[in-house]
């Protein structure tokens, strides 16, 4: 063999070895892989998805499967075709939601070798380009009819849509005062029309107030809701004021009568107490004198000392007959005093506020009820009509510290 032939033989052997190495390297790539998986899918509503998945091996020997797919998502088990139709009914029924990522688990597995498989996952998100504008919805009818002095109150709610309402502006066609302002969703609007809200020049004695609530989002999308309030003329304030003044005058007159009656009862109680105290002191002095005389040296003094204690005891029934305890008068005086205090407090508590108090009608009614209740409570007590004392004199006597101390309630 020549040298050239030897060299050619060596080259041939080297090429054969190289080809063997390359073939070995190619045959070792046997790991199952999905070669075209997209990890993130976004679909528009009413669109179609058709995506064929592929592996690095012959698909006829493998099958595809899904584990936790959302409603409507399917995969062909033979060829790995992923299909989905995002029907709008899925979202309207609540089975699917917009802008929510759904993590879908899927896999492919050999039909002959259970260990030859791939498990993976991808994310599916649905979006909607339809713009749903936010709405302002007051919890009251669009048209409301009320009277002067009658309060109106309702909440202003919102339907968010694609964008939530962040603030609400309020306006009205007529300037109003003393109302509760609405600034955001679920705030409450409240207002009470004053008695002079309806003018004499208004037709049909009504006045129409339009309340406008303008809601806006961060993208300046706005929605306006209008509530029409029909305010009716309900009260003649000057007449109501005369009725209130007459009620106050009746209360003050009745209170003065009660104070004069209280004064007469208190004087009777004071006189009775003085007489009974005098009897008690006299009987005690008589008994003590008899005890002292019974120790005297003379016989006549001792005899007198034996008689005097019996005289002191005999004065007790005389005291009860002459000045019996005034229990009924005491109870009547206490009842009258408590009634006076209550009526004076009610006059203070239901006094008018401002030039035109919107609650004048209810306050007048309440004062009349209190006066009637007090008169019914004291119906069995004789109220003295004659009164020779002035109002200042009666007040000074009624508020005297000694009298207050006498009728003050004490707790044990």
Q: What is the CATH number of the domain that holds 150?
A: 2.60.40.10
Q: Is the pLDDT of residue 241 over 50?
A: yes
Is residue 187 a part of any domain in this protein?
Answer: yes
Question: Do the beta carbons of residue 367 and residue 248 sit within 8 Å?
Answer: yes
- pLDDT tens-digit profile of 348-398? 888 888 777 777 878 888 888 888 888 787 766 666 555 566 666 656 665
Domain final residue, candidates 202, 219, 235: 235
381 and 284 in a single domain? The answer is yes
Three-class secondary structure of residue 155 per DSSP: strand
pLDDT of residue 8: 44
Q: In what order do the strands lie in the sheet with 40-44?
A: 40-44, 117-127, 102-110, 62-66
Tell me the pLDDT band of 298, cut-offs 50, 70 and 90: low
Give the Cα separation of 362 and 368 in Å (integer). Answer: 10
Tell me the pLDDT band of 347, cut-offs 50, 70 and 90: confident
Question: Do the beta carbons of residue 268 and residue 325 sit within 8 Å?
Answer: no
Query: What are the φ and ψ backbone dihedral angles of 26, each rounded to 5 degrees?
Result: -65, -40
pLDDT of residue 326: 52
pTM attached to this predicted model: 0.41
243 and 374 in a single domain? The answer is yes
355 and 251 in a single domain? The answer is yes
Domain that holds residue 93: 30-127
225 and 164 in a single domain? The answer is yes
pLDDT of residue 384: 57
Of all residues in the chain, the percent with pLDDT exceeding 90 is 18
Domain count, the chain: 3
pLDDT of residue 311: 52
Nearest CA among 215, 213, 195, 214 for reference residue 205: 195
More confident residue, 259 or 191: 191
174 and 94 in a single domain? The answer is no
Report residue 370 as tokens: 């209190």
Q: Residues 314-319: what's their mean pLDDT?
A: 52
300 and 258 in a single domain? The answer is yes
Going by the DSSP 8-state scheme, the letter that residue 100 receives in this structure is -
Is residue 373 a part of any domain in this protein?
Answer: yes
220 and 273 in a single domain? The answer is no
Domain final residue, candidates 127, 144, 170: 127
- Contacts of residues 46-49 at CB distance under 8 Å and 24 or more positions apart, as own/partner, are 46/86, 46/87, 46/88, 47/85, 47/86, 48/83, 48/84, 48/85, 48/86, 49/82, 49/83, 49/84, 49/85, 49/86
More confident residue, 195 or 283: 195
How many Cβ atoms from other residues are within 10 Å of residue 147's Cβ?
Answer: 16
314 and 374 in a single domain? The answer is yes
Burial class (CB in 10 A: 0-12, 13-18, 19+), 122: middle
Give the Cα separation of 37 and 75 in Å (integer). Answer: 13
More confident residue, 157 or 356: 157
Minimum mean pLDDT range among 46-50, 191-195, 256-260, 329-333: 329-333
pLDDT of residue 3: 42
Nearest CA among 180, 189, 208, 193 for reference residue 150: 193
Give the Cα separation of 36 and 56 in Å (integer). Answer: 10
Give the Cα separation of 357 and 364 in Å (integer). Answer: 11
Tell me the pLDDT of the chain averaged across its residues. 76
148 and 121 in a single domain? The answer is no
């Amino acid at each position: 063999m020549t040298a050239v032939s030897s060299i050619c033989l060596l080259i041939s052997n080297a090429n054969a070895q190289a080809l063997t190495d390359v073939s070995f390297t190619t045959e070792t790539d046997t790991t199952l892989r999905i070669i075209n998986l997209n990890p993130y899918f976004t679909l528009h509503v009413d669109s179609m998805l058709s995506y064929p998945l592929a592996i690095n091996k012959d698909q006829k020997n493998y099958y595809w499967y899904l584990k936790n797919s959302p409603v409507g998502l399917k995969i062909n088990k033979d060829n790995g075709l992923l299909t989905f139709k995002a029907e709008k009914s899925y979202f309207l029924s609540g089975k699917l939601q917009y802008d929510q990522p759904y993590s879908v688990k899927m896999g492919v597995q050999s039909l002959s070798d259970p260990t030859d498989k791939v498990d993976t996952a991808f994310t599916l998100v649905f979006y909607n380009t339809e713009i749903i504008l936010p709405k302002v919805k007051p919890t009251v009818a669009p048209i409301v009819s009320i009277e002067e002095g009658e309060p109106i109150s309702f909440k202003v709610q919102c339907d968010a849509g694609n964008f939530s309402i962040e603030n609400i502006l309020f306006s009205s066609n007529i300037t109003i005062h003393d109302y509760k302002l609405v600034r955001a969703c679920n705030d409450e609007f409240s207002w009470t029309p004053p008695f002079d809200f309806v003018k004499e020049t208004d037709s049909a004695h009504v006045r129409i107030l339009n309340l406008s609530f303008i809601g806006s989002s961060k993208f300046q999308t706005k929605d306006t809701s209008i509530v029409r309030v029909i305010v009716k003329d309900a009260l003649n304030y000057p007449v109501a004021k005369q009725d209130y003044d007459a009620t106050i005058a009746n209360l003050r007159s009745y209170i003065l009568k009660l104070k004069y009656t209280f004064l007469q009862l208190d004087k009777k109680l004071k006189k009775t107490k003085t007489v009974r105290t005098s009897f008690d002191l006299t009987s005690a002095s008589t008994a003590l004198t008899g005890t002292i005389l019974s120790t005297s040296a003379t016989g006549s003094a001792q005899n007198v000392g034996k008689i005097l204690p019996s005289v002191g005891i005999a004065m007790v029934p005389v005291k009860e007959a002459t000045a019996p305890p005034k229990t009924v008068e005491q109870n009547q005086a206490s009842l009258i005093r408590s009634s006076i205090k209550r009526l004076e407090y009610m006059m203070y508590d239901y006094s008018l506020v401002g030039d035109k108090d919107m609650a004048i009608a209810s306050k007048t009614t309440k004062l009349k009820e209190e006066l009637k209740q007090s008169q019914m409570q004291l119906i069995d007590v004789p109220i003295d009509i004659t009164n020779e004392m002035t109002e200042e004199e009666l007040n000074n006597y009624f508020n005297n510290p000694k009298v207050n101390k006498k009728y003050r309630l004490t707790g044990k």
